[in-house]
Amino acid sequence: MQKIVEKYCELPRVVRRPLWQIWHNLMIRFDKDKAATFMNYGYAGLNGDQTLTLLERDENDRFCIQLYDHVVNKVELKDKDVLEIGSGRGGGASYITRYYSPASYVALDISSHVVDFCNKYHNVKGLSFIKGYAEKPPFNDNTFDAVVNVESARCYKDLDVFFYEVKRVLKTGGHFLFADMIRHNEVETIKAQLSKSGLELVSQENISKNVVKALDYDHIRRESLIKDQIPGFLNKAFLQFAGTQGTERYESFANGKMEYWSFVLQKKA
């Protein structure tokens, strides 16, 4: 199982889709306290500064929330129509809807299990979760003011198709707010694909150091969550997925083989 997590992106697509279902099912079964509503590596200021003011209930998820906040805080979302693709367990969707007050926030994920989980668990006005595919979002052209995508795109079958669809569903002037981990030797390829999409680059940042810092700060919480809730034989796979210190995933960020980038792009007229 640990090897599957490590090599996930190299597996054929027909295997990857059911694997997400299985993974979400395992989390729903084992995370009885619903303690994990995020599935990203997080973001921390390099000096340990915590400028984001959060409600007490959100403090536990501070680093995962800071990643979402870093991705979206450069554009105005108040009263806008926002789509998130690859929303996972919905923590980011809930955070953005509660703190940024968009007019509507639709969160889409490939897994029906996680969509059902989110619709039961997150009860936030204006927020809804639906099942769908990044490469085929079921929306008309020019529907959204912003599309959010956090740590999900790396394993899509066809990024060109995904970027094309993002541009299609965005209104003119709308923004694509995108962050993901990218293998060091693939960064230029992804940048070229973004450029080819016709969306205009507003900003880009290598945030790998911030992600490692977040994994360091969040290590104890991540490790104890897994050790408390996940059966022993699955521990290593979940630790790898969570990027805790000592895992191959953590080391790949620390030694630069894997980078983490954030991008803001805009659909121009």
Ligand X SMILES: C[S@@+](CC[C@H](N)C(=O)[O-])C[C@H]1O[C@@H](n2cnc3c(N)ncnc32)[C@H](O)[C@@H]1O
Contacting positions for ligand X (CB under 6 A): 20, 38-40, 85-88, 91-92, 109-111, 114, 133-134, 150-152, 156
The three-point CA angle 19-69-117 to 5° equals: 35
| Residue among 40 and 267 whose Cβ is closer to ligand X | 40
| Residue among 64 and 199 whose Cβ is closer to ligand X | 64
Structure tokens at 71: 């991705």
Minimum separation from the CB atom of position 76 to ligand X (A): 21
Minimum separation from the CB atom of position 259 to ligand X (A): 16
Number of other CB atoms surrounding residue 220 within 10 Å: 11
Minimum separation from the CB atom of position 198 to ligand X (A): 21
Name the H helices within 122-254: 159-169, 187-196, 208-217, 219-229, 235-242, 248-254
Minimum separation from the CB atom of position 19 to ligand X (A): 9
Name the H helices within 32-172: 62-72, 91-100, 112-121, 159-169
| Residue among 94 and 267 whose Cβ is closer to ligand X | 94
Residue nearest to ligand X (CB): 88
Reduce the DSSP state of residue 258 to 3 states and report it. Answer: strand
Minimum separation from the CB atom of position 173 to ligand X (A): 24
**Starting from the edge strand earliest in sequence, which strands make up the sheet with 170-183, in order?**
127-131, 104-109, 81-85, 144-150, 170-183, 258-266, 200-206
Minimum separation from the CB atom of position 73 to ligand X (A): 16
Question: Buried (b) or exposed (e) across 109-136, using 16+ Cβ within 10 A?
Answer: bbbebbbebbeeebeeeebbbbebbbbe
| Residue among 147 and 150 whose Cβ is closer to ligand X | 150
**At 111, which amino acid appears?**
S
| Residue among 40 and 210 whose Cβ is closer to ligand X | 40
Ramachandran class of 189: left when φ > 0, alpha when ψ lies in -120 to 50, beta otherwise: alpha
**CA-to-CA dists, residue 217 to 48, 88, 145, angstroms:** 9, 22, 34
| Residue among 64 and 194 whose Cβ is closer to ligand X | 64
Task: Phi first, then psi: give them for residue 85, nearest 5 degrees.
Answer: -115, 125
Minimum separation from the CB atom of position 38 to ligand X (A): 4
| Residue among 37 and 174 whose Cβ is closer to ligand X | 37
